[in-house]
Amino acid sequence: MNPSELVKEAFQALEHAHAPYSEYLVGAALLCADGTVFRGCNVENASYGLTNCAERTAIFSAIAAGQREFIGMAIAASGESTPYPCGACRQVMVEFCQQDFPVYVAKSDGFDTISLGELLPNSFEFGASDA
């Protein structure tokens, strides 16, 4: 699947978002090594800390289905701003993806491609050392 198709999957995912508080709909599409795509959307909660982002929804769904190898992720949103992942989502990506993992972030005129390493340089990794 090419990046443009993955971005389309992310736009389809945002149609299922539950965002009554922010009204900012976000969708994500995660491509697995076997070609499977897992979609995620943001799910807000009145207790805002319990909200889950689209990126984590997609990753957690894939993990729950037994997937562990990921090729790339696309993210799309309803607003005008470019929907870069939040810090929590970036850290979850680091848990399961390599630094060169591509993230395709939808914009009004196409999409940007950025690596996970660019999104979260010097990320926390349990047990990692500088030695």
Give the residue numbers marked as catalytic: 55
Rounded Cα gap, residues 127 and 101, in angstroms: 21
Integer-rounded Cα Rg, in Å, for the chain is 14
Q: Tell me how many degrees the CA angle 95-99-100 measures, rounded to the nearest 5.
A: 130
Residues found in the chain: 131
Rounded Cα gap, residues 112 and 72, in angstroms: 13
Q: Tell me how many degrees the CA angle 60-61-66 measures, rounded to the nearest 5.
A: 95
Tally: H helices and E strands in the chain: 4, 5
